[in-house]
Structure 1
Amino acid sequence: MVAYIIAANTAAPDSHITKRVVLSAVVIVISVVMDLLLKLVSTNSGGASPLNKEDAVLWADLTVSAVISFSVFAAGSVKSATFNQGQLLALVGVVVFSFAVIPTYVRWYGLDATGTPHLWRGIIIPNVLGCLTVGVAINYGVNFAG
């Protein structure tokens, strides 16, 4: 994720790259911690393990948050005339990637015959893709905001 964000910001000064990478990491960590805490609190059933393998599937929450925040930044920038075609393509790309590519990948490769997610193909890889989506949304969102 960090390498992708840095590569997307090669024209920006180093301080801007560092800020965007740190901002991306902070948003991802806070989102994951809050998601797991909410799952832990809502599923604690006494003697049973409060979290299971399916609770580690975080990509859906990450991508929805990224698309919503990215859309808000984009809508705000339309009035200030800082919205360009590249940013529009990035927004469309994030939406398509989040709502078509990742779910299709998970459906085809991430689940076994019973619908249980595989560790790597169903949990880790989609979560990394969700983190990339957040990184792209923050990168272009920061560009929208100025």
Structure 2
Amino acid sequence: MLRYSELKDKIKIDPLRDIENEQAYVTHYFHNFGDSVVKYFEEPAISYLTRHSVNVQAKLNFKWDIPFPAPENPKFKFIDLFAGIGGIRLAYQKVGGKCVFSSEYNKFAKVTYEANFGEVPFDDITVISENSIPEHDVLLAGFPCQSFSILGISNFNSV
């Protein structure tokens, strides 16, 4: 059976090159297939897969080979904003939650997030329409990272 890592290579999933959230739509589509929230990701995902010569029906026959897969029978749905590398998501998955949407601005954090969860987070949440965010039970939001980030250092120096 095809593994996600093989499919990812075939369809060129690379968070550093995710132009206009195309790969975010595809990976969110994979994670939400069979769930009512898939409608938020379906059209752009199918367009991307078609351009990469992937049989849209066959793409569902793959095995998730990621460190932290979503629970098989989730108890609730959540979204993960300002996601970083997914530390908060991991805790909520462990208690039975399913992430139906993620967003992270830092491109290097997005690489780690995708490696951990098989999902490319959407980019800047401030430019994403609220109508594009699926229904959810819990909203997660990472804490401000100024004291840990390069941005915090540059702001400190400009004061």
TM-score scaled by length of structure 2: 0.29
Identify, as 1 or 2, the structure richer in helix: 1
User: Which is bigger in relative contact order (C-alpha 8 A, separation at least 6)?
Assistant: 1
TM-score by length of 1: 0.31
The structure whose residues are more often strand, as a share, is: 2
